[in-house]
Amino acid sequence: TKEYVLALAGNPNSGKTSLFNSLTGSRQHVGNWPGVTVEKKEGSYVSGGNTIRVIDLPGTYSLGALSEDEAVARDYIINEKPDVVVNIVDSTNIERNMYLTSQLLEMGAKVIVALNMYDEAKSKNIEIDINGLSNILGVPVLPTIATKSQGLDELTGLFFKAAGSEYNKPLIINYGKEIEEVINKLSDEIKNEAGLLERYNTRWLAVKILEDDAGIKNNIKKYKVYEKLEKIRNESVKRLESLWGDDIEAVIAEKRYGFIKGIVKETVKRQMSAEEKLT
């Protein structure tokens, strides 16, 4: 028998606690994440003789480490490397929820997307092309109704399958020629630093440096290559921002939103109800 770790990540109100409770029942306890006042919930369940430890990460819209919650979720995924991150998505709000999804995938986390509140999506006539979404994201996607414990066996099946397989390919959002050039320059330097390589997905780290992410910068200051990375960033950013008249963080976020809009356009349809058709 083996022990696995499943981390739950999702926006606030996506049904994380409901899914956590449905999976773990009464085998759970509540504590605090070290050093912060953020609540930490942990539980476990047994399937096929194996134990799955479930970690309920704080509900967040992103992993930018702008808040304690985001920092806790992000550091946990980077440092503890759970076997699989189950990303709970509110099916009635896919566009908003996909920002976190895109962040998890860019990090290179091994992800399963649970389309939760699937019953509400159905009653709102929202049609989701699940296979299409899975193909674009490059990870398994399944519908769940956490409050009715629906989809949990399928989720556990997908969990074991994902946990036992190679890391999935991180999602690559194309940030455009100019930014991609800088990402490549930064990546070349990151690849020369073993300490960074073993901890971070190279491309993700390059993007975080470009975004001037304070938390990440703080964590990598101790590496010799840091000064070089800062230099590349500052020189390139100055050039690009004077070219665009906009800051690079805004341009990167725009590209992400564009990517997400494209996903939603291709995979989510909302049929009009009979009443709506009449008016």
Detail the residues annotated as belonging to a binding site for GTP. Answer: 10-17, 35-39, 56-59, 116-119
Contact segment (CB under 6 A) with ligand GDP among 73-81, 117-125, 190-198, 225-233 equals 117-125
Cα–Cα distance measured from residue 14 to residue 203, given in angstroms and rounded to the nearest whole number: 28
Span from 47-55, 113-121, 130-138, 178-186 in contact with ligand GDP (CB under 6 A): 113-121
Binding partner of residue 258 among ligand GDP, Mg ion, none, CB cut-off 5 to 8 Å per kind = none
What residues between 10 and 49 interact with Mg ion by CB under 5 A? 16-17
Asked whether the beta carbons of 229 and 184 are under 8 A apart, the reply is no
The Cα 3–Cα 158 span in angstroms is: 16
Give the per-residue contact string, 120-139, with ligand GDP (x = CB under 6 A; - = no): x-------------------
Stretch that binds ligand GDP, among 11-19, 25-33, 192-200, 201-209 (CB under 6 A): 11-19
- Is 152:145 a contact under the CB 8 Å cutoff? no
Of 124 and 221, the one with the shorter C-beta distance to ligand GDP is: 124
Binding track over 139-158 against ligand GDP, x by CB under 6 A: ------xxx-----------
Chain mean position to CA 4: 19
* Binding-site member from 17, 28, 67, 168 for ligand GDP (CB under 6 A): 17
Q: Tell me the residue ranges of DSSP E strands in the chain.
A: 3-10, 28-32, 39-47, 50-56, 84-90, 111-116, 126-128, 141-143, 268-270
Chain-centroid distance, C-alpha 139 = 12
Told to check if 119 binds ligand GDP by CB under 6 A, we report yes
d(CA 156, CA 15): 17
Residue nearest to Mg ion (CB): 17
Question: Which residue in the shown chain puts its C-beta closest to ligand GDP?
Answer: 15
Q: Find the shortest distance in angstroms from Cβ 6 to ligand GDP.
A: 15
At what angle are helices 248-267 and 202-210 packed, to 10 degrees?
A: 130
Q: How far is CA 44 from the centre of its chain?
A: 22
Answer for which of 2, 3, 13, 153 binds ligand GDP (CB under 6 A) is 13
Taking each helix axis from N to C terminus, what angle separates 248-267 and 177-190, rounded to the nearest 10 degrees? 110
Binding site for ligand GDP (CB under 6 A): 10, 12-18, 59, 116-117, 119-120, 145-147
